[in-house]
Structures are given as structure tokens and as C-alpha cells.
Amino acid sequence: MKKLLALLLATLFAVAPLTARAEEGEGFDAGSMIIGHVTDAHSWHLFDYKTKDGKEHAVAIPLPVILWNNGRLDVFMSSKFHHGHADYRGYRLTGGGAEREVIVSVDETGNIVEGGNPIDLSLTKTSAAILIAVILLIVIVFAAKRAYRRRPNQAPNGVLQGLVEMLVVFVRDSIARPMIGEVHYRRYLPYLLTLFFFIFFCNILGLIPFFPAGANITGNLAVTGILALITFLITNISGNRHYWTDIFNTPGVPAWLKVFPLMPLVEVIGVFTKPIVLMIRLFANMTAGHIMILSFVALIFILSNIGGAAVGGATSVVSVFLSVFISLLECLVVYIQAFVFTMLTALYIGMAVHEPEHHHSEA
């Protein structure tokens, strides 16, 4: 009960800054709020507040902007854009909210230069969140490693060491060994452990609505795409002769399908669709959960603008409890998505390195 109450209070605290946008007479753009929270940005937005003169101010952590433009490298902090309200060094930050943030070049008169957009190498919110996640994950793993060195050949002591060992043994015995096989699984176990812990930890941080957590890391197609690309490369580089023979000369298939070559074409397409499925599944499942929670929160302000504060207050009770329910469900999804991505990766690798069994007839 205490944990549920703590989660309820955390949800209320996380959505409280949004009330500044739901003042009487002010429109509330639910789509902009929802998409703005699940997409990437050049600064880490914390909350908004209003001064006595009615002006709204955003509180955000600025991030480094790194631009390559016609052989020139420009580096400065995103605060120079004043949240998109000012140009700096001939650049302008456009988009935000429901639109993707893009930095464009502008001339002396403030007009956007057509075709002159710089190459954006900036450290965005998602990039910064990945660095934070990796640093925290390294600290946790090395803390468990030191605990093993202090107490060699003994049972794990403490929650941290016990959790790390439980997950490592789970990935080894329930994913790597059965999917890849006893002969080859040790070779790929480090990658599978790294993959599982990274996705699992990033998913957990995405559920915590406070800085330095709260970024939708695995809800970014670039992140899931890179993870899927690494799996794709490892799988196909590791593929043995039997793996490639099954693709281009599939056994049990009529000869005319091989000549046509319908089945080889289908198999080759399957080689590329497997990582695409990995990429989209993780992205869609994590993003959907965040959107559902934010949608329930947005209902409070939408109905408040329509029916007044009383309607909004009554809606808030239902919306917050539904948000808490989805958050609890997301706690399960966090683990399931890390497991599914790692399991399918191990399955694809296992199919690539599998050696056919040769049965010898007895004389």
C-alpha cells in the first residue's frame, strides 16, 4: 500500500507542472504536450512557471549544440536559443512540441536559408540520457563485481548483488544457452548480457518522472535501430555455411521455386525484416505506454477547460489512478521488452551458428 501511495504521489508531482498551461482562458494543446514528452529535444525540459506579469518561463537544463556547417564547427549551449525564441550565430531552433526540433540556418535578415541546414551532431536529451544510463549501469555492475571479490565463492549478499546475479544467471540459462546451444553460447553471452541490462535499465529510467531519469530512450527509433543493426551484423557475420545454404537453397522446397527464385527472395527479405521487427517492437511498446499515461493526464486539463475546475478535479481522480495502473503495467513491460529483444537476438544468432545433426545409419 505504501508503494502504491508513493507511486501515486510521484505521478501527481510529475504532472503538476502541466497545470500552468491549463489556466482559465488558456488553451491546452494535448497533442503538443504528449508528443513533446516522448520525442527528443536539444534541452532537458523540467517544468514551466508564470511570473506575476503573466509571462510563462520554462526551466530546462541546456545541452551542448554541435553543428557542422560548410567546413565550420560551431559549439555552444542550447540556452542561447532561449527555447526557440532567439537566433544565435546564424542558426535558429525550430519545431518543438508536436513537431520535430530542427536547427536551421538563417541570414542577416532572419530568413531561413534554403538548403543550408547544418549537420546536427548535438548532444540531445536522448543522448544525454543514454550517457547517464550507461554511467549508472557501469557503477552498479562494478559495485557487484567488488562485492564478489570481497566474498569469493559465496552466496550473494545484499539486494544489488543478488539482483545482478539473478539477471545474469537468467540471461545465461534461460536465453543464451537454450537459444544458441551449449557449444557457442559463451561466445555471445557478453553481448546478450549487455543488451539485456542496457534495455532493462533504460526502460526503468524512462518510468521515473524526475531528472536525471524520465527520458524515453528506448522509445527513440534511432536507439532501437542501432541495437537492431548490431544484432543484424553479429547474426550475419556469424552465419555458417549451413545458415546461408538454407537461405539460398532451402531444403524441402520444390525445385521450380528455387529456379524462379521465389523462396530465396523470401528468405533474403526475412534476413532484413528480422532486425526491423526488433526495432519497431521495442520502440512501439515503450512509446505506447508513455503516450497512454500522458493521455490520461491530458484529459484532466481538456475537460477542465471545457467544463471548469470542478469537472477537471473530478476527472483528475480517475485519470491519476488510471495513470498509476498503466505505470504498474509498464513495470512489467519494462522487463518483458528487454527479455523479448534479447531472446529474439539469441534466437537469430542460434539459427545462424546452428550445425545440422548428422545421423548415421547403423549397419
DSSP assignment of 157-216, as one string? -SHHHHHHHHHHHHIIIIIIHHHH-TTTHHHHHHHHHHHHHHHHHHHHHHH--STTS---
Cα(336)–Cα(45) distance, integer angstroms: 29
Q: Is the pLDDT of residue 263 over 90?
A: no
Q: Is the pLDDT of residue 18 over 50?
A: no
Task: Give Cα separations from 140 to 135, 147, 170, 198, 354 (angstroms).
Answer: 9, 11, 18, 12, 34
Q: Which residue has the higher pLDDT, 84 or 167?
A: 167
Q: Which among 194, 177, 174 is positioned nearest to 186, based on CA atoms?
A: 177
Q: Is the pLDDT of residue 135 over 50?
A: yes
Q: Which among 208, 203, 231 is positioned nearest to 219, based on CA atoms?
A: 203
Q: Which residue has the higher pLDDT, 276 or 152?
A: 276
Which single residue is written with the C-alpha cell 505504501? 2
Helix (H) or strand (E) holding 128: helix 125-150
Name 43's bridge partners: 62
Residues 337-359, mean pLDDT to the nearest whole number: 87
Q: Which among 353, 106, 118 is positioned nearest to 235, based on CA atoms?
A: 353
DSSP assignment of 244-273, as one string? HHHHHS-TTS-HHHHHTTHHHHHHHHHHHH
Cell numbers linked to 362: 547403423
Cell numbers linked to 199: 534495455
Cα(166)–Cα(182) distance, integer angstroms: 20
Length in residues, the chain: 363
Instruction: Please name the residues in contact with 318: beta carbons below 8 A apart, sequence gap of 6 or more.
Output: none
What's the gap between Cα 157 and its chain centre? Answer: 31
The tens digit of pLDDT for each residue in 277-306 reads 999 999 999 998 888 888 888 888 888 878
Helix (H) or strand (E) holding 141: helix 125-150
pTM of the model: 0.84
Phi, psi (5° rounding) for residue 107?
-90, -175
pLDDT of the residue at 8: 46
User: Which letter does DSSP use for residue 151 in this model?
Assistant: S
Q: Is the pLDDT of residue 31 over 60?
A: yes
Q: Is the pLDDT of residue 361 over 80?
A: no
pLDDT of the residue at 191: 95
The tens digit of pLDDT for each residue in 47-85 reads 777 777 767 777 888 999 999 988 889 999 998 988 778
Per-residue pLDDT band at 186 (split at 50, 70, 90)? very high
Neighbours of 81 (CB within 10 A): 22
Instruction: Please name the residues in contact with 179: beta carbons below 8 A apart, sequence gap of 6 or more.
Output: 185, 343, 346, 347, 349, 350
